[in-house]
Structure 1
């Protein structure tokens, strides 16, 4: 069955729903479409609605919709078959990261780790929401303030970010969750270095991270496991999206170097 693509978008509006608002209209429609595919878990091989139907749903012209599909096809996220339409492919690397094999491997490693962290962090947050003590909640809130203080002081907030997530694991009351996180602390730290460096290049990215962290803490404070699970999982999805939106200059410079450190860490 062909999935519906909800969310009409006028060509004069922001089709990215206010989340990622840069690029041409075609690029922003492409971002909204791929976000919807991931959000709804549309499986590889699934046929999308017709170009005409999607253009109507997004409130854009068929020319703009065709541009969006072409961009996602170039990224390896969609494939088209003559007479059949567009189909979802497996997740692919962003175009900006392509060209150098080592950089490609490094960025894919980063995305793979982020995918693993999504499931891990979501379940940890859900458990922490119903098990945390007042003291543990205070420690989590203190750790979050530490992230913001580090950023205001001109730091990268990496160690503070790692500590924030570890505090949430400790709030599960299950030492095995903590040990599981600690097993990957080195890789998580290196991954956070990459994502933090990317996010520091754009104020909107930095604001998004702050808001995502605050939503996690709010759910923990409310003792709402479902909200906490969703907030933590969404945070990791957004981390991956920001990685995909990093430009070629980032991957050719510091971003690529940091990502390669992540790959090297698995061989240590």
Structure 2
């Protein structure tokens, strides 16, 4: 299953209904940590939905760590019932993230990522980051759309952090940011030379294994984007007042 932060509304509603049904079934059976859930076939028949919908809901609950699929034992409850109910309530209540929320999360995450990358990078990581940087420069220099190359540059840095969880979070954040990116507004007035220099400064700081400088240069890179979302927040507050 592809976990997404911006599922279509109809799919989100169906998933939440099935997740609620799974929660109610677990509570009705008073399952405890380690107990096995009914099979996908049984739940499919009981909830009157297709098995692939059951499978998607289970994998989403696995993603959040409350269920676990075992090769021989089927799906089991991975945590206690109290914690399970609390987390499921939060999953169901989750709203589709806004562009601002996605960007805020990305900036906070990448400031930590670039610090770790500067501390842990290998020569192979540097080569991967340099290749991504060159691809970015090649696109932006001739005026082509460079957004995907930019994000691949950042993903290469995430891999250099040697933190697979952070890489996973980056992979979750990239698709919805690409889908909702307001490039015409965010990138207005960007100068090619200055954008290239910002990316090169990040690369050089990582090369030098200087985590403090790498963090500063990444923060500089995000300055315009941070200002953009702050202005959106101010406008929204003004319109609400």
| TM-score, normalised with respect to structure 2 | 0.50
Structure having the higher Rg:
2
| TM-score, normalised with respect to structure 1 | 0.45
> Higher helix fraction: Structure 1 or Structure 2?
2
